[in-house]
A and B are shown apart, each in its own frame.
Chain A
């Protein structure tokens, strides 16, 4: 049996804008890069958030490469080519709208992450994403691994409000990561300093806290992909 080796593909998807797709994508890429992995980000968003970030701070994105996908690109064809030539991780940051790039990325992704804040519109969109991916999964003949990432959780928000929000998550039609990402300055700072929390000044307490949350998230992401792959035949181990 030949050893099959390809990068892990993670798509960041939600039909709603402003939920934290690009920020999560960059921060998680930074976390994996800090562990010695290579991360190639495909920016399919028309806003070019991450492509511009990489252009603005080329020296601060060690281990991370960002490629802007232009209109009319055959994304699946391009991903196929990248999967045969790269190792590590491929992240696909899609626009905040349902379009074919989001579908294409989800159809081959090992994990689809939908960031959402603790509010009804974001959580509704996360539920819609789940329903959409269920349809795609049925057509594909295999389930699509999908997790919602609750982010920008405020330490200052009323505990009553947060308790109410978390209670509604228990009956939500999607699965959320256990890790919650807080509303911390180091996450937003990546677009002003170029540095993801793992490459920022860790003598700062907020940075250390952001790194701890991202480490927890990274472990959960890898465990989720690992658990999902146990159910799928034709598995081969990637050399460490």
Chain B
């Protein structure tokens, strides 16, 4: 067995009191576990196959209609020299705006807000997450 670091002795009484005090002060709830539930029983008419013990049939539904999503516009790399503080602000805003948002999106939004024409289909927070699955 690997060697363990030294450890302190636990004051169980003090711990129990502290838990009670903090739980009361901060209104911390006790754990409530969900109870296992059974599927709700639906009464069937006596003449239906289900009512006579047949297999449950689900109603047939039409396939959902496919929605056409406009394809994003073609892109290409465009490089320009920016002050470091501006680059840092773009990175910072990308991080703080919301998770999984790219710097590309932050920059495009800035262009749009400045009056440039940016198509809605090109404003995708993170294109990697919207790629169609193979």
List, in ascending order, chain B residues with CB within 8 A of A70's CB. Answer: 33
Q: Give the chain B neighbours of A240 by CB distance below 8 A.
A: 1-4
Chain-B contact segment, one of A21-29, A183-191, A194-202, A230-238: A230-238
Mark the stretch among B16-24, B38-46, B57-65, B70-78 that contacts chain A: B16-24
Interface size on A, as a range, is 35 or more
Specify which of A32, A119, A156, A235 is in contact with B7 (CB 8 Å cutoff): A235
Contact A76 B16 (CB under 8 A): yes
Please state if A139 and B28 are interface contacts (CB–CB under 8 Å): no
Number of interface residues of B (CB under 8 A): 43
Contact A119 B99 (CB under 8 A): yes
8 Å CB contact of B14 from A32, A35, A141, A163: A141
Taking a contact as CB atoms under 8 Å apart, the answer to whether B94 and A108 are in contact is: no
Using a CB-CB cutoff of 8 Å, which residues 105-119 of chain A contact chain B? Answer: 107-108, 110, 117, 119
A154 CB → nearest B CB, Å: 10
| B31 touching A160, Cβ below 8 Å | no
Query: Quick check: B4 and A136 within 8 Å, CB to CB?
Result: no
Query: With A108-B12, A139-B18, A164-B95 as given contacts, are A35 and B7 in contact (CB-CB < 8 Å)?
Result: no
Chain B positions within 8 Å of A, measured between CB atoms, are: 1-10, 12, 14-16, 18-19, 21-23, 25-26, 28-34, 87-88, 90-92, 94-96, 98-103, 128
Residues of A within 8 A of B (CB): 4, 6, 8-9, 32, 35-38, 44, 46, 70-71, 76, 80, 83, 88, 95, 98-101, 103-104, 107-108, 110, 117, 119-121, 132, 135-136, 139-141, 156, 158, 160-161, 163-165, 167-168, 222-223, 225-226, 229-230, 232-238, 240
